Amino acid sequence: MASLGWLAQPAVLPWFALFFGLCVGSFLNVVIHRLPAPQEPPLSLVAPRSRCPSCGHGITALENIPLVSWAVLRGKCSKCGARISARYPLVELLAGIGAAYSAWRFGPTMAALGALLFVWFTIALAFIDQETGLLPDDLTLPLLWVGLVVNLGGAFVPLREAVIGAIAGYLSLWLIFWAYKLATGKEGMGYGDFKMNAAVGAFLGWKMLPLVILLSSLLGLGALQMFAARGRWDAGFRFHFGPYIAIAALIALYWGEPLMRWYTDRL
């Protein structure tokens, strides 16, 4: 068997990761659409073949090439002309860029594999939460375990810090939840947010959690201001915190240490 050592070359690995990430992004679109769908029986992630929701046209292989097909079809179904959401190429692009950057940043290591999985899981969670208000256990709990497994060898932090991070990640938002509920009588977030934050702690360790919580809170406040300015905040408005945990966690994954050093140097 020919050696695959060439794949680990710095000039090759990111491009391979980009291509593979784009393909995974196509699958993530299926996950985002089908995993939270209230179907009886629940839709499988592999069957039946994807179809246009407007006319039922089965998506062919040529119509399912990441980025290219959407651009060639001009964002419309080839059969009925119904619009195809820009979310589909966006998810593919984010998955591809995240994979390429992880491969470039960490090289052929367990950290790169862990970062790839972390990016793909958080993309799916962020889009599902934004669209449905759900953070499925089918994603948050495996992500937590993946974080612990990749840190068995200290890919990002020692295993002890990862375990403490998982516990602290859950409890930190759980305490905020109950403090807010006791003060206002309302629930400010869901239990899925606790589990997602626990998964972040399992990957990045407990020391990164204050940064993640701070960044996600600031991002969330900025989004609330934007929603209010656009008149989208009314009595029925539901704020979904998952996307901001995802963005903050990715910032911490790639740039957490320099941000922490920058902050401590100014104390």
Average pLDDT, stretch 159-170?
96
Helix/strand/coil percent split, the chain, to 5: 70, 0, 30
Give the pLDDT band (50/70/90) at residue 144: very high
40-44, 111-115, 173-177, 226-230: range with lowest mean pLDDT:
40-44
Residues 200 and 158: their CA atoms lie apart, in Å, by 14
Q: E strand or H helix at 68, and its extent?
A: helix 68-72
Query: Maximum Cα–Cα distance for the chain, whole Å?
Result: 65
- What percent of the chain is predicted at pLDDT more than 70? 87
Q: Specify the pLDDT at position 1.
A: 38
Q: Specify the pLDDT at position 267.
A: 63
Which token pair is 41? 């029986």
Q: Specify the pLDDT at position 43.
A: 62
16-30, 34-48, 66-80, 177-191: range with lowest mean pLDDT:
34-48
Q: Specify the pLDDT at position 2.
A: 47
Q: Specify the pLDDT at position 139.
A: 95
Residue type, 150: V
Which token pair is 63? 């119509």
- What percent of the chain is predicted at pLDDT more than 90? 54
Q: Specify the pLDDT at position 260.
A: 85
Q: 261 near 134, Cβ under 8 Å?
A: no
